[in-house]
Amino acid sequence: MAQAKRIVLASRPVGEPKVSDFRLEECPLPTPGEGEILLRTIWLSLDPYMRGRMSDAASYAQPVPIGGVMEGGTVCEVAASNNPGFAKGDIVLAGAGWQTHAVSSGKGLRKIDPALAPISTAVGVLGMPGMTAYTGLLDIGQPKEGETVVVAAASGAVGSAVGQIARLKGARAVGIAGGKDKCEHVVKELGFDACLDHRDPDLAAKLRDACPKGIDVYFENVGGAVFEAVFPLLNFFARVPICGQIATYNVTEMPAGELRTSVLTRAILTKRLTLRGFIVYDFAAREADFLRDVSAWLREGRIKHREDVVDGIEKAPRALIGLLRGENFGKMLVRVAQRER
């Protein structure tokens, strides 16, 4: 009998997740009922938010229950269909999670045209991370020509798009990334004006030198020490889209830091700063604009993207642990299966 595989949450991690917090299970291939389709996962996206779903701390989304299939965005092939809206072989964007197969009613799926771009981009630069960069930067950051935009995790899925879109809007883009290779890629391949290593003990001084006119937009992906280095350099009326805080996702206690609440709020007042948190779904109404603009930029070669691929669903736990440590170099993906045709 054909088998499917899935990875479930075995236990809630304390601090950094361990491979034993996940469990690989084999189960019979599910059978689609009336009006349903069988999905076969080709690509599974690994994203930092998954660390949040492993925890039961209060958040904007429900945690994965213990024993539940890990949540995740996927690009799937329709393997069988009892739904007239889908044919065998169709490629769809789905939230099938960490499993090789899933049954769906078809609701919420988006068909992907493989002729337009590699299908993996539907969970990368043309998917959730790309839309996060596009909306957070343009709708909250609102960079103007000649302004300075700073973004950390700059070689990653979101940060790489943020800097490149900032440049397309005529701003200067300064990246912050982990290590020499990532920084070189950010400048030489992605065209940022500068990139600094966040592990450099002189980060604050080097950032000041790289931003001689101060910072007008800081796209916050990281928090922690990077935010501390950026904050004194923010210009009057600077905008700070708060997108992520990856430096704190595995911590069991928040770091002390210099920015006590009154110091922070006084600076927000006197410099008239705008700090706004957002979740990409807040901007769902902008999806058509995002797809139109970023698809065109990609086609014209004005935006580049890099993928970091591991093969086999069994590798997903280790790859997520690595992503949270900065071991990925580009959009983290699991190739779960090859396409049939």
Ligand X SMILES: NC(=O)c1ccc[n+]([C@@H]2O[C@H](COP(=O)([O-])OP(=O)(O)OC[C@H]3O[C@@H](n4cnc5c(N)ncnc54)[C@H](OP(=O)(O)O)[C@@H]3O)[C@@H](O)[C@H]2O)c1
Which chain residues interact with ligand X by CB under 6 A? 47-49, 129, 132, 152-153, 155-159, 177-178, 182, 198, 221-222, 224, 226, 243-244, 246-247, 278-280, 323, 326, 328, 331-332
Closest approach of ligand X to the CB of residue 1, in Å: 37
- Say how far apart CA 89 and CA 78 lie, in whole Å: 5
C-beta closer to ligand X: residue 97 or 156: 156
Provide the b/e sequence for 75-104 (b: ≥16 CB within 10 Å).
Answer: bbbbbbbebeebeeebbbbbbbbbbbbbbb
Closest approach of ligand X to the CB of residue 5, in Å: 24
C-beta closer to ligand X: residue 121 or 328: 328
Closest approach of ligand X to the CB of residue 104, in Å: 23
Residues 6+ apart with CB under 8 A from 75: 41, 42, 43, 91, 92, 93, 94, 112, 119, 120, 122, 123
Q: Is 333 left (phi over 0), alpha (psi -120 to 50) or beta?
A: beta
Closest approach of ligand X to the CB of residue 60, in Å: 9
Take residue 197 and report the two structure tokens written for it: 């290593």
Closest approach of ligand X to the CB of residue 175, in Å: 8
C-beta closer to ligand X: residue 8 or 246: 246
> How far apart, in Å, are the Cα atoms of 20 and each of 10, 14, 24, 312?
7, 12, 10, 17
C-beta closer to ligand X: residue 120 or 155: 155
SS3 per residue for 52-117? HHCCCCCCCCCCCCCCCECCCCEEEEEEEECCCCCCCCCEEEECCCCECEEEECCCCCEECCCCCC
Give the phi and the psi of residue 148 in degrees, each rounded to 5. -110, 125
> How far apart, in Å, are the Cα atoms of 147 and each of 170, 175, 215, 230?
8, 14, 8, 15
C-beta closer to ligand X: residue 150 or 247: 247
C-beta closer to ligand X: residue 63 or 224: 224
Nearest partner of 218 among 246, 201, 237, 191, judged by Cα: 237
- Say how far apart CA 178 and CA 324 lie, in whole Å: 12
Please state the separation of Cα 105 from the chain's center in Å.
Answer: 27
Closest approach of ligand X to the CB of residue 299, in Å: 22
C-beta closer to ligand X: residue 6 or 182: 182
Closest approach of ligand X to the CB of residue 139, in Å: 12
Closest approach of ligand X to the CB of residue 157, in Å: 4
C-beta closer to ligand X: residue 141 or 159: 159
